Amino acid sequence: MKRDLLYAPWRHDYINKNREDKDKNKMKNDCVFCHQLTLNQDAKYLILKRFDNCFVMMNMYPYNVGHLMILPNEHKGDIRNISKKTRAEIFEITSITTTVLENVLKAKGFNIGINMGIAGGGGIPSHLHVHVLPRWIGDTNFCETIGNVKILSSDIKKVYKLLRDEFNKI
């Protein structure tokens, strides 16, 4: 069966700012994640919780309701280039994130992964991020199966508030 593409042009400007072909020194200054982290506008940028070495945020272009990302505070695109302390914290926060998603959204499973580098599928390869996608039994439907289209019916701001409140208990 041929899979149709769903065109999402609004992602182009967001992602294009961070392509590998830009000057490496300029990358950090242009990184959308670094920029959002420096501002005190966590709700606007869907940042749920800041930790010593990393932070958790919602994906503005989610694959599923509750699609979260854990990112190092420092601008690094390769997991081998962050400190052991930061790697350990990211892994611990990933574990905590699954508990938060179970408690708030009643997730029954998870897809967790890192798309490192452009060839690895990274849309913003210059700043490492761990994707945590909550899953539910039967969470695919006829639109995905027949039409290859994903429908997200939850208000991202309402989900943000619920998740933020749960993260604030930590």
Total count of domains within the chain: 1
Average pLDDT of the residues in 114-132: 91
Please provide the average confidence, as pLDDT, over all residues in the chain.
84
At 87-115, the pLDDT tens digits run: 999 999 999 999 999 999 999 999 999 99
Question: What pLDDT sits at residue 67?
Answer: 96
3 within some domain: no
Domain limits for position 84: 10-167
Is residue 65 one of the residues assigned to a domain? Answer: yes
Report yes or no on 1 lying in a domain: no
Residue 145: give its domain's CATH number: 3.30.428.10
User: In this structure, is residue 2 part of a structural domain?
Assistant: no
Write the burial class of residue 96 (CB in 10 Å: 0-12 exposed, 13-18 middle, 19+ buried): middle
pLDDT mean over 46-70? 96
* Residue 136 belongs to a domain: yes
How far, in Å, CA of 35 to CA of 37, rounded?
5
Per the CB < 8 A criterion, the answer to whether 75 and 38 are in contact is: no
Q: Establish if 15 belongs to a structural domain.
A: yes
- Label residue 51 by pLDDT band (50, 70, 90): very high
pLDDT in tens, 130-139: 999 999 988 8
Give domain status of residue 49, yes or no. yes
Could you tell me if residue 5 is inside a domain?
A: no
Alpha carbons 135 and 105: distance in angstroms, whole number: 10
- SS3 state of residue 37: helix
Higher confidence at residue 46 or residue 116?
46
